[in-house]
Amino acid sequence: MEFGKVIKERYSVRKYKPDMIKDDELNRVLEAGMLAPTGCNYQPQRIYVLKSDEAIAKIRSLTRCAFDAPVVLLIALDETADRKSPLEEGCRAGIQDVSIAADHMMLAAWDIGIGSCWVNYFKPSEVKAAFALPENETAVLLMTLGYPADDAKPMKLHCESRDMTEIVRIL
């Protein structure tokens, strides 16, 4: 699909078919996350693919926003692997890097007919404990993945945008 069409048509899918994503398609999505630019190419994102019955049941018990997706990505930040700015204490690129990787995966998924939804409605500490993430990793987001149900549609607010003059400032 043409890139402009991908970014215009993609929406957060909250209703999925029960069909499991094909392995080659899932790998294409994951590869997009690995190709995403990160600070100094440190690649601090850690992507956990939740698709076993046990893992899906566990994540559904921790958030109401798993939307019955057949696959959920648990995307974490390795706090020891992100770029730390030498110019200012506490200035780090990790959250941005993880977010860029997640965005790449969402767009790559849509390009091949897979829906997704970026989920922040969960307690990171509970997810970390439930999936025994290493001490140096923090759960940043969940991403549901699957083929959109035939009656899936964007939420009403999806098609609304602020005027560009409210968002963009040219200096």
Mean pLDDT for the chain?
A: 96
Token pair of 47 as six digits: 């992507």
- Rg, the chain, Cα only: 17
Q: What is the pLDDT of residues 77-107, one digit of tens each?
A: 999 999 999 999 999 999 999 999 999 999 9
| β 45-50/71-78 pair status | antiparallel
Note whether 33 and 101 are within 8 A (CB): yes
User: What pTM was computed for the model?
Assistant: 0.94
C-alpha closest to that of 108 among 4, 5, 6: 6
User: For residue 161, what are the β-bridge partners?
Assistant: none
